[in-house]
Copies of this chain bind each other. A is one copy, B any other.
Amino acid sequence: MYIINIGNELLFGKTINTNAAFIAEKLTSAGIDIHKTIVISDEPNTIYKTISDSFKESDWIITTGGLGPTKDDMTKKVIAQYFKLDFEIDQSTLETVIKMFSDRGLETIEINKKQAEIPAGAIVLPNKNGTAPGLWIEKNGKTLIALQGVPFEMQAILLESVIPLLKQKYKGVCAVVHKDILTSGMGESMIAQKIEVWEKRLPKALSLAYLPSPGQVLLRLTARAKDEKTAKQFIEVQLPALIKLINSSLVSTDGETLTEVVSKLLTKHQKKLAIAESCTGGYISHLITSLPGSSRFFKGSIVSYSNEIKRDILNVRESNLKKHGAVSEFVVTDMAINTMNLFDTDYVVAISGVAGPSGGTKDKPIGLIWVAVATPTRVVCQKFLLGKNGGREVIIKRAAMAALNMLRIELIKNDEK
């Protein structure tokens, strides 16, 4: 299977090609290998030539981009030209378009009605999130699946229409199974050293990738075999030894994020959480509230972005601010305890640090973070030196992960009691 992502914006940069990754992941999991991903401009001759060349090497192509209503959307026209098909109006698409606009209290404008024009004979892949449908065109043993450039539109069509159809029509060659082992609190090279012997002895059918992101390393174990059952067995044999080596840095082995693991533990024990953020400025709260249903355990947070707010709203002692500074064990402890009282929760995470790019000193360098976690039984504090590499955004993310990982460890301890 080839993926062709169409769009000047992808080749010029700025717009990131998330579509290739999404399609690749979902297809790989369905046992369909991606052999190449190509990014090209939305110039009609280039689209035509790339489709034509790619069909010489592959019977299957998925394209993204160029199905929208605007002048730079050329894909639909080029596909019709390549397959020598006329356009016809698809009634159900037309009705969907008109309904979508009327639901938002708008009239359908002419440009949107054009979305209902499709190449004759194409299978229409309904787009519940937008006006232009996806298209599935088969002719002379070649199949082209044309999807949207807008990620959430493309994603829904891929999952709901394309993959079920592919499962019927595509003959996969081998089964590929991934196992994601998420870790937090240990760097890439530290993990590599810990698991060196284990990794060296991995059989050929298995490969391991290190996928670092701020504050986390995802280890992806991939098995290839003739069928899914055998591939899964390969992984099951190797996994226990790996998990033992990683020990308490292990966050999950089932695709759950650190935030999801924390959320599950809180929900399971019916405990409530509040957060006091300084250097992370709302990012931890955002991670938590991105999860549907987080209101079950999350009562809220305070972003205390000035000493005044720390003192006046969070009751942090003036003496601690003066003597030890806002980035200190004493201040995060005050923040944690007073937030617990203010929000009446079982757990509180409080964080204060130097995110940079300015404000670093010799004693308190950029990347210094203090975290306090208040639990029903105690308050624990920890200092992190996260370095200044990657700049402000990366430091904020690392700090958030360090704080959530501390909360996770405390939750597990209370789980074991």
Residues of A at under 8 Å CB distance from B? 7-18, 20-28, 34, 36-40, 68-72, 103-105, 109, 111-112, 128-131, 150, 152, 176, 178, 180, 188-190, 192-193, 196, 199-200, 207-212, 220, 222, 275, 277, 280-286, 288-290, 292-295, 298-306, 308-309, 313, 342-344, 356-358, 385, 387, 389-394, 396
Contact = CB atoms under 8 A, between A and B. Distances in A.
Contacts of A104: 385, 387
A130 B389 contact: yes
Given A11-B28, A72-B208, A280-B286, 6 more contacts: A10-B20, A16-B16, A282-B282, A290-B392, A303-B303, A309-B343
A38 to B, nearest CB: 6
Main secondary structure of the interface of A (DSSP, over half): mixed
13 contacts: A9-B220, A12-B176, A17-B21, A70-B192, A277-B285, A281-B286, A282-B288, A282-B301, A289-B396, A290-B396, A295-B306, A298-B305, A301-B303
Nearest to A310: B300
B188 A68 contact: yes
Question: Within the oligomer, what is the number of copies of this chain?
Answer: 2
A285 B281 contact: yes
Nearest to A14: B25
Q: Which of A39, A72, A392 has the most B CB atoms < 10 Å from its CB?
A: A39
A304 B294 CA distance: 12
A170 B98 CA distance: 52
